[in-house]
Amino acid sequence: MEAASATAPTVAPSGGEKAAAALRNFLSGYGLIVVLVALPVAFGISDLTQGHSLARLAGNLKDGISNGAIWALIALGYTLVYGIIELINFAHGDVFMLGSFTAAGFYGTLGLTAGTGTAGLAGGLLVVLVLSMLVCGGLNTMIERVAYRPLRGAPKLAPLITAVGFSFILQNVGLLWHGGAQLGVPDLINSQKQLVDVAGVSITHGDVLAIVLTVPLLIALGAFVSRSRLGKAMRATAQDPEAARLMGINVDTTISATFMLGGLLAGAAGLIYALYQTTIWFFQGFTAGLIAFTAAVMGGIGNLQGAVLGGLIIGCVQQIADNRIGGGAWTPAVVFFYLIMIMVFRPQGLLGEQTREAG
Amino acid sequence: MRVRWLAFSSFVIALALGVSACGSSSSSSSGGGGGKKVTIYSSLPLQGATRPNSVDVNKGEALALKQAGNKGGSCTVTFKKLDDSTAQAGQWDAGATSTNARKAAQDKSAVAYLGEFNSGASAISIPITNDAGLQQISPANTALELTKNPGPAGKGAPGKYYPTGKRTYARTVPADHIQGAALADWMKELGVKKLFITNDKQVYGSGVAKTTSDAAKLRGIQVLGNEGIDPKAPNYRSLAQKIKSSGADAFFFGGIVDNNAVQLYKDVGKALPNGKLFGDDGVAISTFAKPLPKDVAARTYLTVATIDPKDYPPEGQKFFKDFASSYSGKQPEPYAIYGYEAMSLALDAMKRAGGKCNDKAAVSAQVYKTKGKKSVLGTYSIDKDGDTTINDFGRYLVKGGALKFQKSVKVAKDSNGKPLGAVGG
């Protein structure tokens, strides 16, 4: 949901300024490419010289894409909300966590177990997917109505703190629901079982599930935002809420719909996470929220494609670091180093544009 | 403006994390009677995955006090239970731990502090209780560096934990130089050739990983790596692939269940379909055993100092009966018996202090004079470092979502190959 570009009065630049701008553009483009490919290229060369195969790197990237798909779904919730009201909805990660808890709860209600037949499982999971999405969508909309809408005209700090507060409330709801221990959920899809081996890279059931569920959702979201009446209203509100209001758009309803959309995606991500990891716990929302928020910023917050790209990049960086740099203890540092480098070369994020605020 | 806004938001996240780390809760029970009144504190993580163990340790301590008529010598004891964990952390927390230790240190009636459950937490509370001259007795800490020099990795341990220069910490559970050897003995018996180790980077986790690594090498097992994990990682699939690529036929995690152990064992278990998975007492708990998939559980081998009830002396067998009758027939979690003994040791030291049962220095001195004490764990002594002379370890398997005792073993040599002294000496 790209916000409006703003134009500033221009003054003819001098030769030195032109050269500096050209250098900045060069670094912003090529420097960024160097940052993005440095890790995979370095490890790819290392693999080729040592083992004469890129299977290990391909395996890292495959794991990164399936993990990153989940982060992308959550990151979209952050970026949708930021794009329209420029609020970082800290509670979003915890809505996702409750999505996993809800999905796991419905496993039991519908009697889904690891022994359920394929047809029953597919039907059951579809029902669980819809229910988890509706619960999270409803929850996110309720949060907007209760905690953010009354603060629409307030200083930006007020809704930000409210969001942090709601995050803790939801985290404690999760804690009360299932306690502090990790909860194993039935491995309905045999998540880590190999489906096919492609040139030495093992594609598992979990990998396929993450992609098969995520891609249609991303396409549907893109189509909704670009083509539907409500999607157009969302884009108009993101560009200029006042002008949108004057054009007859119900801004409050549009914002509520945005939260609903983010919540629906969080619910879907919650189910995918439960199926993929087979372990859920109250703290997963905080961790996933932090990663997804980073993905949204990396991609250019407010930009839908950017959130997806950021999610995939972080997923890949995480898996490469887990596999090759220590035992994973350095992974958060590597991910945030990547974020910093990307911000240095492109402060607006990979696909980010100026917002009305920046203008 | 946007960049500044994002920077500010990041600051708010960091602030929120800091705030979440604060807070603790407490409860108390007191004994009746007159005479001198003293307080014994317990500090354990009552939230998070370790809670079942902590609750049973408290029950064991309360049972020991009740059976002693709420008396330690001529002193009447009030038992105060503190929580060293927070809901947000989901495990022990540094802030809550230091708050508890300070509370006990400032209480003039305090004569003993039973805790912590986690060695990392004790690394924070020991200097505080030491400064106040208050005797600390842990029912569960096994990190070697809390009492003995673990080598260069210890960075000044154990001296750095005792600012007064005088020891005020003891434990009723054998330390990790014994557990590491117990694990390595079992690995050797099961034919392990190549071992990959990970740890949670905490005092306990990295310590037991080191002692297990040392012991395994002494037994001819090749140790392919010992690496710290990110306990907050969503999964460990790529790390598991790395372990698989290393050619390891066995895996060991030094750490506690609260640090994402379930996910780690699931992922490594799937990557090593025939690999043997070893774990320490930090994961030997029902909250670890229950969510483990069957195929992974079938290859999981855990050690805890708690042995088969049948192998305990009559006092120990009586403890299990009394515990069950006092608490609705429930079988205790592994550390309950050590909680019982921690309280018994404190009460015994008070009794031996005679008229000075309310004098914490006298009580502390008596703890170190414990020789040949007959207990629920067997006969033991406390050495000058505060360690028990018991060297029994229990081997556990995971069956039906629960811990199943397999065998008791007596460890002959520690992780450095040094012969262990005779029990009770």
Residue-wise pLDDT tens digits, B70-85: 999 999 999 999 999 9
B235 contact residues in A (CB cutoff 8 A): 67, 276-277
Taken as a whole, chain B contains a residue count of: 425
Neighbours of A154 (CB within 10 A): 11
Instruction: For residue A282, give both structure tokens.
Output: 């109250």
Residue A12 has pLDDT above 70, yes or no: no
Neighbours of B172 (CB within 10 A): 30
B3 shares contact with chain A (CB less than 8 Å): yes
pLDDT grade for B16, boundaries at 50, 70 and 90: very low
SS3 A86: coil
pLDDT grade for A33, boundaries at 50, 70 and 90: confident
The alpha carbon of residue B88 is apart from the nearest alpha carbon of chain A, in Å, by: 8
Residue A7 has pLDDT above 50, yes or no: no
The CA-based angle B41-B43-B49, given to 5 degrees, is 150
Element housing A81 (H / E): helix A55-85
pLDDT grade for A31, boundaries at 50, 70 and 90: confident
Percent helix, strand, coil in chain A, to 5, is: 75, 5, 25
The CA-based angle B73-B75-B80, given to 5 degrees, is 115
DSSP string, A15-59: HHHHHHHHHHHHIIIIIHHHHHHHHHHHHHHHHHHHHS--HHHHH
Q: What gap in Å lies between CA A60 and CA A229, rounded to an integer?
A: 41
Contact B2 A324 (CB under 8 A): no
Averaged pLDDT, B131-160: 91
Averaged pLDDT, B359-386: 96
Q: What is the pLDDT of residue B271?
A: 94
Q: What is the pLDDT of residue A1?
A: 57
pLDDT in tens, B293-304: 999 999 999 999
Residue A179 has pLDDT above 70, yes or no: yes
Contact A164 B12 (CB under 8 A): yes
Contact A184 B290 (CB under 8 A): yes
Element housing A183 (H / E): strand A183-184
Contact B291 A184 (CB under 8 A): yes
Buried b (16+ CB within 10 A) or exposed e, A225-258: beeeebbebbbbbbbebeebeeeebebeebbbbb
A326 shares contact with chain B (CB less than 8 Å): yes
B91 shares contact with chain A (CB less than 8 Å): yes
Nearest-by-Cβ selection for B12 from A160, A278, A328: A160
Better-scored residue on pLDDT, B402 or A181: B402
A279 shares contact with chain B (CB less than 8 Å): yes
* A128 contacts: CB under 8 Å, gap ≥ 6: A103, A106, A107, A110, A112, A271
Instruction: For residue A149, give both structure tokens.
Output: 């809408």
The CA-based angle A93-A98-A99, given to 5 degrees, is 90
Averaged pLDDT, B109-124: 95
pLDDT grade for A152, boundaries at 50, 70 and 90: confident
Q: Is A16 exposed, middle or buried (0-12, 13-18, 19+ CB in 10 A)?
A: exposed
Q: Beta strand pairing status for B276-279 and B250-254?
A: parallel
Instruction: For residue B138, give both structure tokens.
Output: 């842990």
Interface predicted TM-score (ipTM) of this complex, two decimals? 0.81
B108 shares contact with chain A (CB less than 8 Å): no
A171 shares contact with chain B (CB less than 8 Å): yes
Tokens 């492609």 found at: A198
pLDDT grade for A10, boundaries at 50, 70 and 90: low
- State the angle between helix axes of A251-277 and A284-299 in degrees (0 to 180), rounded to the nearest 10: 120
A192 shares contact with chain B (CB less than 8 Å): yes
Q: What is the pLDDT of residue B25?
A: 38
B271 contact residues in A (CB cutoff 8 A): 192
Return phi, psi of residue B198, to 5°: -130, 160
Chain-centroid distance of CA B322 in Å reads 23
- Window 37-66 of A: residues touching B by CB (8 A cutoff) are 56, 59-60, 63
The CA-based angle B145-B150-B151, given to 5 degrees, is 140
Residue B13 has pLDDT above 50, yes or no: no
A278 contact residues in B (CB cutoff 8 A): 266, 293
Q: What is the pLDDT of residue B103?
A: 97
At B257, which amino acid appears? V
Nearest-by-Cβ selection for B236 from A328, A332, A357: A328
Q: What gap in Å lies between CA B113 and CA B160, rounded to an integer?
A: 19
Residue A335 has pLDDT above 50, yes or no: yes
Considering only CA atoms, which of A304, A157, A179 is closest in space to residue A235?
Answer: A304
At B205, which amino acid appears? G
Contact B91 A167 (CB under 8 A): no
pLDDT in tens, A205-239: 999 999 999 999 999 999 999 999 999 999 999 98
The alpha carbon of residue B309 is apart from the nearest alpha carbon of chain A, in Å, by: 27
Contact A327 B287 (CB under 8 A): no
Contact A168 B51 (CB under 8 A): no
SS3 A184: strand
Nearest-by-Cβ selection for A319 from B12, B238, B292: B238
pLDDT grade for A353, boundaries at 50, 70 and 90: low
B292 shares contact with chain A (CB less than 8 Å): yes
Q: Beta strand pairing status for B85-86 and B194-199?
A: unpaired
Q: What gap in Å lies between CA B199 and CA B210, rounded to an integer?
A: 9
Q: What is the pLDDT of residue A327?
A: 77
Better-scored residue on pLDDT, A12 or B305: B305
Averaged pLDDT, B313-329: 92
Q: What is the pLDDT of residue B421?
A: 64
pLDDT grade for B31, boundaries at 50, 70 and 90: very low
Contact B263 A160 (CB under 8 A): no
The alpha carbon of residue B358 is apart from the nearest alpha carbon of chain A, in Å, by: 38
Q: What is the pLDDT of residue B282?
A: 93
A171 contact residues in B (CB cutoff 8 A): 88
Q: What is the pLDDT of residue A316?
A: 95
Q: What gap in Å lies between CA A189 and CA B189, rounded to an integer?
A: 36
pLDDT in tens, B378-398: 999 999 999 999 999 999 999
At B215, which amino acid appears? A
Q: What gap in Å lies between CA A310 and CA A288, rounded to an integer?
A: 13
Considering only CA atoms, which of A322, A346, A343, A344 is closest in space to residue A332?
Answer: A322
Edge-to-edge strands, sheet with B250-254: B222-228, B194-199, B250-254, B276-279, B300-304, B392-399, B402-410
Q: What gap in Å lies between CA A266 and CA A272, rounded to an integer?
A: 10
Q: What is the pLDDT of residue B26?
A: 40
Q: Taking CA atoms, what residue in B is nearest to A64?
A: B238
B234 shares contact with chain A (CB less than 8 Å): yes
B198 contact residues in A (CB cutoff 8 A): 327
Instruction: For residue A11, give both structure tokens.
Output: 């003054």
Q: What is the pLDDT of residue B18?
A: 39
SS (H, E, C) chain B: CHHHHHHHHHHHHHHHHHHHCCCCCEEEEECCCCCCEEEEEEEECCCCCCHHHHHHHHHHHHHHHHHCCCEECCEEEEEEEEECEECCCCEECHHHHHHHHHHHHHCCCEEEEEECCCHHHHHHHHHHHHHCCCEEEECCCCCHHHCCCCCHHHCCCCHHHCCCCCCCEEECCCCHHHHHHHHHHHHHHCCCCEEEEEECCCHHHHHHHHHHHHHHHHCCCEEEEEEECCCCCCCCHHHHHHHHHCCCCEEEEECCCCCCHHHHHHHHHHHCCCCEEEECCCCCCHHHHCCCCHHHHCCEEEEECCCCHHHCCHHHHHHHHHHHHHCCCCCCCCCHHHHHHHHHHHHHHHHHCHHHCCCHHHHHHHHHCCCCEEECCEEECECCCCCECCCEEEEEEEECCEEEEEEEEECCECCCCCECCCCCC
